[in-house]
Copies of this chain bind each other. A is one copy, B any other.
């Protein structure tokens, strides 16, 4: 059994991670930590865990985690996460960091977009990016994996093979719609039910932190510098991301796009090319991604859907864990 610690266990991604590990046939949660509510049973924080996990919140003590865990899923906010990851690096365990701290390769880019100094800049540049569909080998060997952002996963997976094949221009528009769970569990006015319900709005237009992540990872994979315009929208639903992506290319059509995807992702168990526009509900609660491409005048419209809390966060973390421990990618993640 792989012993899993969940650091920062009170939020939505941590809950989903615990739920998934609970179902995993070869892994078990052995520690849950938090700065607040130390001593509180985790099932009081996440009542869906009633009777499912008999652990209480503790402070994140690196040595203790080193003794109790084979792998830690770090679900802290950015900056705080890198500090904890650094402390954990002395221990004999692996880390999957669900924050943004190790996704970008450049400390300068990080500091520009996150408006804070990076706590461990020298570690950047050599961290595996946790998309097994693109970086399986690096992940298998890694002691630290940067779990991707939810929006970037929905944009990078459709775009990467097309850029690698050189069939699309680098001027790309990504118009994404996300459920409210992406905003986290901290009480804020904008996330109140009566604010978010029955309403849709764009936010952080052209300046969301996931924009440089998409650009950096596409460059890392395909060696192409793209000009991505990213517009996220807060959508009245718990979970799900739909990205509507506008691309164009000489002699490109939807059929060619799908063919390239089929080739690139022939071995990817969670990626499915479909023939009509996918809905986020089709993948809700699962680690799957549905993608299609549609001809529209001189452009091709790419559509991808995923569950932001699963494939966009904790499901990807479990998938990465499976890769790191030599297991089948799909173990514990449904069929």
Task: Give the chain B neighbours of A50 by CB distance below 8 A.
Answer: 272, 274, 282, 288, 290
A47-B192 contact given A235-B236, A236-B235, A237-B200, CB 8 Å threshold: no
Task: Report whether B203 and A277 are in contact in the complex, using a CB–CB cutoff of 8 Å.
Answer: yes
- Within 8 Å by CB of A194, from B181, B299, B334, lies B181
Assembly CA distance A180 to B236 (angstroms) = 12
Q: What's the Cα separation between A206 and B296 when bound, in Å?
A: 5
Which of B48, B233, B277 lies in contact with A283, CB distance below 8 A?
A: B48
- The minimal Cβ–Cβ distance linking A248 to chain B, given in whole angstroms, is 10
Known contacts A50-B272, A175-B175, A192-B192: A201-B299 contact under CB 8 Å: no
Is A240 part of the binding interface, using a Cβ–Cβ cutoff of 8 Å?
A: yes
Using CB atoms, name the residue of chain B closest to A205. B294
- The reply to whether A177 and B189 contact each other, CB–CB distance below 8 Å, is no
A170 within 8 A of B: no
What is the 8 Å Cβ interface bit string for chain A, positions 299-328, against chain B (1 contact, 0 not)?
A: 101010100000000000000000000000
A192 to B285: give the CA distance in the assembly, Å: 20
Known A47-B278, A235-B235; judge A240-B193 contact (CB<8 A): no
A198: Cβ under 8 A from any B Cβ: yes
A177-B200, A199-B281, A205-B294 given; A191·B189 CB < 8 A: no
Residue interface mask A233-272, B partner, CB < 8 A = 1: 1011111101010100000000000000000000000001
Task: Convert A128-142 into 0s and 1s, putting 1 for each residue whose CB lies closer than 8 angstroms to a CB of B.
Answer: 000000000000000
Chain B residues, CB < 8 A from A303: 202, 205
Q: Is A188 an interface residue (CB 8 A)?
A: yes
Residue of B nearest to A197 (CB): B238
- The answer, among B206, B236, B278, B290, for a CB contact under 8 Å with A297, is B206
Q: Which residues of B contact A334 (CB under 8 A)?
A: 22-23, 52
Q: How far is the CA of A130 from the CA of B17 in the complex (A)?
A: 32
B185 touches A281 (CB 8 A): no
Q: 27 A-B contacts, Cβ less than 8 Å apart?
A: A12-B194, A23-B334, A48-B283, A48-B286, A50-B274, A50-B282, A51-B288, A173-B246, A187-B188, A191-B194, A193-B238, A194-B238, A197-B238, A199-B240, A199-B282, A201-B278, A201-B279, A202-B277, A203-B277, A205-B277, A205-B296, A205-B301, A206-B296, A206-B301, A229-B299, A231-B296, A235-B235
The 5 A-B pairs with the shortest beta carbon distances in the complex, nearest first, are: A206-B296, A199-B281, A201-B279, A187-B187, A193-B196
For the A-B complex with A192-B192, A229-B246, A229-B297 known, give 16 more contacts whose Cβ atoms are closer than 8 Å. Answer: A50-B282, A181-B194, A185-B189, A187-B192, A193-B195, A198-B237, A198-B238, A199-B237, A199-B282, A201-B281, A202-B244, A202-B301, A205-B296, A205-B301, A206-B297, A207-B296
